[in-house]
Structure 1
Amino acid sequence: MAHRIITQVVFTGARILGKAVRESYQHAAATQKYAAATQKTGGVGFASNNITMEEACKILNVGPSKMGQIDLEFVTERFKRLFDLNDPKKGGSFYLQSKILRARERIEREVQSYQRMAERERELSEGFKPKITKD
C-alpha cells in the first residue's frame, strides 16, 4: 500500500515538473523570437523600445511633440538637471536616471526622424538636382 502512494507522489511530481519545464521553455522561445524581430526592425533591444513619446515628455516635463517641434536645448537642460538630481552618489536612484536617459534618447530619435522626413520632403519638392563636375 505504501509503495502505491510513493509511486503516485513521484509520478504526480514528475508531471508537474514536466509541465513547468515545458512552459518555461515556451516562454523563453517566445522571448527570443521577439528579441530577434525587434533587432531586425532596427530596435536596440527591450529597454529602449518600450517607452512612448508621451511618457518621455512626461518624464522630462516637456510639452508634447507636434511634428517634431521640440526645443532640444530645453530637453537637454531638463535632462542634465534631472540626471544630476538622481545621481546615486548623491542619494538618487539609478533606475530613475536610466528612465531619464531613455526619455531623452526617445525624444531625440523622434526629432531626428521628423528632420529626416522634412529633408526628404524638401528634396522631393525641389526635385533631384545632381551636382555635375567638369573634369
Structure 2
Amino acid sequence: MAYRMITQVVLIGTRVVGRAFSEAYKQAAASSQYQRAQAKAGNPTTSGRANIDTGMTLEEACKILNVKSPQGGQADMEQVMERFKRLFDVNDPKKGGSFYLQSKILRARERIEAEAKPKMEKAAQEAETKEGWKPKIYKE
C-alpha cells in the first residue's frame, strides 16, 4: 500500500515538473523568436549584443542615469559619466548604499556606452580620414 502511494506521488511530481519545464521552454523559444524579429526589423532599443550583455534596454538605462536617449547613436558621454560617477558614489555599500543599485548603475552606463561606441568610432575614423594619417615620429 505504501509503495503504491509513493509511486503515485513520484509520477504526479514528474508530470508537474515536466509540464513546467515544457512551458518554460516554450516561453524561452517565443522570447528568442521575438528578439530575432526585432533585430531583423532594426529596432536598436530591444535588440543587439549590448542588450544581451547588460540585460537592459536603452530606455531603461537612460531612465536609471536620468539622461536623454542617444539621438542617432550620439550620446552626451560627459553627462553620462558625470551622472554615473555621482550615483555610483552615492550608492557605495561602504557608505550605507546598495550594491544592487550600484550594479544597475554600472550596467546602465555600459549599455549606453555600447550603443554610442560604434558611432563614436566611426566619427573618429572619418575625422582621421579627413585630416590624413600623421604618424608619430620619435627622435633619439
Give the TM interval when normalised to the shorter protein: 0.5 to 0.7
Work out the percentage of aligned pairs sharing the same amino acid: 47
The alpha carbon displacement at 1:49 in A equals 3.5
Gaps of 5+ in 2: 33-47, 131-140
SS of residue paired to 2:103: helix
Deviations, residues 75-98 of structure 1 (Å, cap 9, x unaligned): 111000000000111111111000
Q: Which has the larger radius of gyration?
A: 1
Partner of 1:67: 72
1:53-74 Cα deviation digits (max 9, x unpaired): 1110000000111012211111
Contact 2:50 2:115 in 1 (8 A): no
For residue 88 of structure 1, what is the aligned residue in structure 2?
A: 93
Choose the corresponding residue for 1:101, options 89, 102, 106.
Answer: 106
CA distance in 2, matches of 1:110, 1:116: 11
Equivalent AA in structure 2 for residue 12 of structure 1 = Q
CA deviations over 1:32-52 (Å, ceiling 9, x no partner): xx8xxxxxxx95896x34211
Partner AA of 1:16 in structure 2: I
CA contact (8 A) 2:74 2:120 kept: no
**Over aligned residue pairs, what C-alpha RMSD do you find?**
3.5
- Given the two structures, how large is their TM-score scaled by the length of structure 1? 0.63
Aligned letter for 1:57?
Answer: C
Aligned counterpart, 1:54 = 59
Gaps of 5+ in 1: 35-41, 127-135
CA distance in 2, matches of 1:77, 1:65: 16
Residue 17 of structure 1 corresponds to 13
Count of aligned positions: 110
Shift of 1:115: 2.8
Which of 110, 115, 119 is 2:115 aligned to? 110
Pair 1:110–1:95, CA change in 2 (3 A): same
Question: How far has the Cα of 1:105 moved from its partner?
Answer: 0.3
User: Normalising to structure 2: TM-score of the pair?
Assistant: 0.61
| In structure 2, C-alpha distance between the alignment counterparts of 1:15 and 1:116, rounded to whole Å | 59
